[in-house]
Structure 1
Amino acid sequence: MKQPVEGFSRLTKNQKIDWLAKAYFANPEKAVTIFKKYWNDDEKLQKLHDEFIENTITNYYLPLGIAPNFLINDRLYTIPMAIEESSVVAAAGKAAKFWSKRGGFKAEVIATEKIGQVHFIYKGDSERLQNYFTHIKPGLFNDTETITGNMKKRGGGIIDIELRDKTDELENYYQLHCTFNTLDAMGANFINSCLEQFAKTFKEGAVEYTAFNAEEKKIQIIMSILSNYVPDCRVKAAVSCKVDALNEDRMPPEEFADKFVRAVEIARIEPYRAVTHNKGIMNGVDAVVLATGNDFRAVEAGVHAYAAKDGKYTSLTRASVKDGTFRFEMEIPLTLGTVGGLTSLHPLVKLSLEMLGNPSAPELMQIVAVAGLAQNFAAIRSLITTGIQKGHMKMHLLNILNQLHATEEEKEYFVRYFKDKTATHRSVTEAFYRLREKA
């Protein structure tokens, strides 16, 4: 039976790997070799990566690919994408090329407001609490001046603070609902620092507030934390063209447009389809978010919450045909930064941002939204024409061959062999062993 390890964080990286290998792997030497194989030879660069998180033992690589030919608001972009899933980058590039010939993508930022909350318990008269909030609110702003000074100079800072009564949902529960503009920073540290100061000022001020009785002075702060649900930090992306320009899929344009709109409508009303539909959007979104050093988990949580904002999980995209024009669009919340965090530390993040022209946070919001819309267009286009598996499995072919330990010559042979065939796992495996038997 394994025993807990004491003082693990104080061990060196080599000591951590040795302990891990001996405790959990049948072949410790092989495990150590693989872990160390992914270390960077540049010691300074490796140390940088080691310090991103705690208890680092090695680097976990994801491919960084590029999707060219994205025409966004009449400007051409090559978009970096960090992702492990086959066909995503190719699909994005194909969609970008398709729409570059039809006016490109249009994108606009609707709002950039971010949210944080101080959650607290108050046992007393709600009207007296409201009076106290009105009294203390200027102090909440004043006591955060040292935190907000630089942000305010650049045009950002705290937008507003509201008192919200949530006692109908949880006994004695109230919150300070706070909104912020963090400009080009994602803003998590800034927001959380402000919130913690709000909590301190709010709690201490209650003790001195003479209109409160003894029980009301005992405000209990539960927690102070930003929210990753940002319905007022949104971006819109869209494409449109005449229906008769949808003429590249061996299907009459009118039929293509009709099936496309129907497919999106199905995702609008059917949650089982909507989840997979939106996952396809996030293939594009997450890949760019990762490549630019942003928090894809926060983005995922916020986007999926937005998809269910009306009480039912639904499609994030909309499609329509009106007066002979096909239109496909999406509106999603995104909290992104182009300064701070990994954006100024990770060398590949720096190059990814430079590749995009060193965008501001609002510009990056537009690029990321477009990548998601393009990915969704590519997926639906495949589904209603050739089917998703033909293209997906063709891109997955090399993964299957690598699992079979195929040689380079065998890989070249099977790429040619499956050029006009559907490459399923079974068909590839059977063809592979037939070839081996003949050798």
Structure 2
Amino acid sequence: MLYFYLKPNITIKSKTYLYKKYSQNHFNMKNAIAGFSKLSKEEKINWIANEYFSNPNEAISTIKQYWNSDENLQKLHDEFIENTITNFYLPMGIAPNFLVNGKYHSIPMVIEESSVVAAASKSAKYWSTRGGFKATVLNSEKIGQVHFIYKGDSEKLEKFFSQIKNKFFIATESITKNMQKRGGGILDIELRNKTNELENYYQLHATFETKDSMGANFINSCLEQFAKTLKEESLLFDDFLEEEKNIEVIMSILSNYVPNCVVRAEVSCKVEELSDKNISNPKEFAEKIIQAIRIAEVEPFRAVTHNKGIMNGVDAVVLATGNDFRAVEAGVHVYASRNGKYTSLSHAKIENDIFTYWLEIPLALGTVGGLTSLHPMVKMALEILGKPSAHDLMKLVAVTGLAQNFAALRSLTTTGIQEGHMKMHINNILNQFKTTDEERKLIKKHFENNAISHSVVVEFIENLRK
């Protein structure tokens, strides 16, 4: 390991030169720097610009172009993560007309992909005249585990656990006190024997209710106290042999797989009510939707893309509300594989001439803590949603995923997905080629009645400019 102290009175250029000279002589490393986190923001930017760009001044200008003009707001953003140099913006849009459990909502969505917000909005409007969305939180348990190694008699361990189980609750009273006031806390703790999967491996498997908080810090604090109590109590247990007292805790951490923190979203109407100006044969339309979902239920290659469409809606709202979309994605895809094969998250059926379309999805979300009280746009998004509880937010996220999925399948089984997508994507192409306002008018007019593809639009622009 190389430790290289960068003195504060040495300029960034000198620091970089000295480090590069040292590293090239000893390790032949390029673009490496020690003590980067200790540099000022300006020094970090200068190093990045000089090290990676042929025009450093242009790079610095671009980086600073995305700073907030309000210094306090920029400082707030800088402190969200480490080694910040600038902000990376994503568009925030609104999908209106979501009728959910009898109440209208406008859904904020943060996403970079064309057509997603438009598709969700179109589905919301379509279903608002057919009874709207129904959403129900089926359960909201969250999970954490203490993973440990025990080299001894499993029956002794089970006896030990049954005798000290209540001590885990007592030892965490100071941590759980405030959560219990809000109706949450530790629900249960189990000892699980996993030695058939890994030699000497056991776990404390705990379930939690964290109410409006996502609860990661709360759960992890409880788990670390469980681990401490487990170790301390094992040394006092008379039935253990000396070697059995040596319980080795490997780690204590929450799980992002929450199969009992699930919300159901659905829409339904009479088959005949599915008709509109683009659906002349509603029964055929409903049957094609059901068949498309059945394909996603049995074919993993299709299921992945099918579920990705659901997550277009889910992730966009999760991001807008300051929640952890990586945790949600990881948990959702394991849930889609819970029966041993990756399959569709959504389902549809016709019974008694009623078309029903639904999904059940695990969502561990929070509306307090984290970025919810810090990020100005997150606070605004939650305000737009009516300051929802965690359960209400779960419902709104789930219906957005269902709406997005319905829009995608409607396009796929009727006109095809590219027609609508490319109409939305054309602005990206026009921006890429820096078209003028006059050129945009001519291009959009031409493609009102002509098929759109990237190459065709580019060819039209080139011909227009000749």
Using the size of structure 1 for normalisation, the TM-score is 0.99
1:115 match: secondary structure: strand
The residue aligned with 1:262 is 291
Q: Deviation of residue 398 (structure 1)? A: 0.6
Counterpart AA for 1:177? H
CA offsets 1:330-350 (integer angstroms, 9 cap, x no match) = 001000000000001000000
The residue aligned with 1:311 is 340
What is the RMSD computed on CA atoms of the aligned residues?
0.8
Partner Cα distance (1:196, 1:416) in 2: 63
Residues matched between the structures, number: 437
Q: Deviation of residue 415 (structure 1)? A: 1.8
Partner Cα distance (1:107, 1:183) in 2: 18
The residue aligned with 1:364 is 393
The residue aligned with 2:366 is 337
Partner Cα distance (1:374, 1:323) in 2: 23
2:165 match: secondary structure: helix
- Describe how 1:369-408 pairs up with structure 2 within 5 A: 369-408=398-437
Partner Cα distance (1:5, 1:417) in 2: 52
For residue 421 of structure 1, the aligned residue among 436, 450, 453 is 450
Residue 323, structure 1, aligned to residue 369, structure 2: no
Q: Deviation of residue 361 (structure 1)? A: 0.1
CA offsets 1:233-257 (integer angstroms, 9 cap, x no match) = 0000000011111112244111101
2:245 match: secondary structure: coil
1:140 match: secondary structure: helix
CA offsets 1:283-332 (integer angstroms, 9 cap, x no match) = 00000000000000000001110000000000000011111111100001
Contact 2:279 2:285 survives alignment (8 Å): no
Contact 1:68 1:78 survives alignment (8 Å): yes
The residue aligned with 1:286 is 315
CA offsets 1:151-181 (integer angstroms, 9 cap, x no match) = 0111100000000000000000000000000
Q: Deviation of residue 3 (structure 1)? A: 5.2
1:397 match: secondary structure: helix
Q: Deviation of residue 142 (structure 1)? A: 0.6
For residue 459 of structure 2, the aligned residue among 430, 433, 437 is 430
CA offsets 1:192-218 (integer angstroms, 9 cap, x no match) = 000000001101111111111111100
The residue aligned with 2:152 is 124
For residue 271 of structure 1, the aligned residue among 291, 300, 304 is 300
Task: Mark the runs of 5 or more structure 1 residues left unpaired by the alignment.
Answer: none
Larger deviation, residues 421-430 vs 69-78: 421-430
Task: Mark the runs of 5 or more structure 2 residues left unpaired by the alignment.
Answer: 1-28
Counterpart AA for 2:52? Y
Partner Cα distance (2:434, 2:31) in 1: 37
- Describe how 1:141-160 pairs up with structure 2 within 5 A: 141-160=169-188
Partner Cα distance (1:311, 1:343) in 2: 36
The residue aligned with 2:197 is 169
Partner Cα distance (1:251, 1:35) in 2: 52
The residue aligned with 1:217 is 245
2:344 match: secondary structure: coil
2:267 match: secondary structure: strand
Contact 1:2 1:23 survives alignment (8 Å): no
CA offsets 1:215-235 (integer angstroms, 9 cap, x no match) = 110000000000000000000
Q: Deviation of residue 106 (structure 1)? A: 0.3
Partner Cα distance (1:187, 1:156) in 2: 10
1:359 match: secondary structure: coil
- Describe how 1:33-52 pairs up with structure 2 within 5 A: 33-52=61-80
CA offsets 1:60-86 (integer angstroms, 9 cap, x no match) = 000000000000000000000000000
The residue aligned with 1:58 is 86
Using the size of structure 2 for normalisation, the TM-score is 0.93
Larger deviation, residues 19-28 vs 390-399: 19-28
2:244 match: secondary structure: coil
After superposing on structure 2, the runs of 4+ consecutive aligned residues of structure 1 that deviate more than 4 Å are none
Larger deviation, residues 203-212 vs 49-58: 203-212
Counterpart AA for 2:412? L
